[in-house]
A and B are shown apart, each in its own frame.
Chain A
Amino acid sequence: MAFLRSDVVTAGVQAPAAPAQDTAPVTVKIVIAGGFAVGKTTFIGSISDIEPLSTEAAMTEHSIGVDDAGGVSDRKTTTTVAMDFGRISLPGNLWLYLFGTPGQDRFLFMWDDLTRGAIGAVVLVDTERLDACFDAVDYFEARRIPFVVAVNCFDGIARHSLDDVREALAVSPDVPVLYTDARSRAATKQTLITLVGLAMSRLR
């Protein structure tokens, strides 16, 4: 499967007219948001070409000074925030990056960096801890970033109806709410397709 995919990608990347390295891929990204340990990295790993990587941003004196970290004045504090991400090569010389948000709400300010230029976001939801995704929903709504709410079904069991989830989150009717399974490539695929479709409908 992986071999097949990379063959297709190679064909797409190496346009006949020019060697691959002369034509930089167009990069796009989708943000995977949600509460701590809701399955973001699993979601990314189920479809990424590469093993999910982890990068970190250090909240240094510099960044504390310019970012809204709630008026933090203790300049000796250095906190690092980990973000997991993956990459999918698509035909047509496209690289799609999937960036997971840091799980903790207090790093919400960092999301600006992640969401800048993003196609949109998937808000992963664990119905047992619904409140863990409130911040993410608020964030994307306020910035008019296209997002879908994906209810992660652990063990393949849906414990709540999608209508109940929609009502509890009070998202607008045009926000897709769907079941997903972070471990399943097919389910992850469908979630991303729904999001990209939504982003396209916003442009029309």
Chain B
Amino acid sequence: MADIDDELDDRAGTVRPYTVTGGRTRAGSEDLPLESLVRTVTDPAHAPGVIERRRILEMTRDTMLSVAELSAHLRLPLGVVRVLVADLSDERRVVVHRPTAAMANPATNLKVLESVLNGISAL
């Protein structure tokens, strides 16, 4: 873990961001909402490819994290993380929970908003 972190530290700021995706952007991946939750469903140790891919798998093994949180923790731009997550999802290494997958947009669901209101009030 520490080694990986060191390696990420060394990279930060010294490499163009899209280097980790091989310079690829990816059509469609920009549709992945920032608040989509990612969860690992495979063993991170067996993931080939750049170190950032393995980091994503490790970070989301015990807890789900959003695309935005992965971007912040990895210090990679959102667009890069979206490409990596879309790749990992295609390879069935992670499951991506989009906010709109389970129901129509939760932000326009009165029941959800009621729960949000009650939840905030009780904080």
Report whether B106 and A60 are in contact in the complex, using a CB–CB cutoff of 8 Å: no
Distance between Cα atoms of A138 and B67 in the complex (Å)? 28
Min C-beta distance of A40 to chain B, whole Å: 15
Min C-beta distance of A19 to chain B, whole Å: 12
Report whether B17 and A116 are in contact in the complex, using a CB–CB cutoff of 8 Å: no
Question: How many pairs of residues, A versus B, come closer than 8 Å at their CB atoms?
Answer: 143
Report whether A203 and B108 are in contact in the complex, using a CB–CB cutoff of 8 Å: yes
A27 and B79 contact, Cβ closer than 8 Å, known pairs A91-B119, A114-B34, A196-B120: no
A96 and B119 contact, Cβ closer than 8 Å, known pairs A24-B64, A53-B72: yes
Interface check A85, CB cutoff 8 A: yes
Distance between Cα atoms of A55 and B114 in the complex (Å)? 29
What are the residues of chain A within 8 A of B8 when measuring CB–CB? none
Min C-beta distance of A42 to chain B, whole Å: 17
Interface check A21, CB cutoff 8 A: yes
The B interface is mostly helix, strand or loop, or mixed, namely helix
Report whether A26 and B112 are in contact in the complex, using a CB–CB cutoff of 8 Å: yes
- Contact check: which of A24, A58, A116 meets B79 at CB < 8 Å? A58
* Range of interface residues on B (Cβ < 8 Å): 35 or more
Report whether A55 and B113 are in contact in the complex, using a CB–CB cutoff of 8 Å: no
The 3 closest A-B pairs by CB, nearest first: A90-B119, A53-B72, A24-B97
Chain B contact residues, CB within 8 Å of chain A:
16-18, 25, 30, 33-37, 39, 63-64, 66, 68-69, 71-73, 77-80, 97, 99-100, 102-103, 105-108, 110, 112-123
Chain A contact residues, CB within 8 Å of chain B:
5, 8, 21, 24-29, 47, 53-58, 60, 62-63, 78, 80, 83, 85, 87-88, 90-92, 94-97, 99, 113-114, 116-120, 185, 189, 192-193, 196-197, 199-200, 203-204
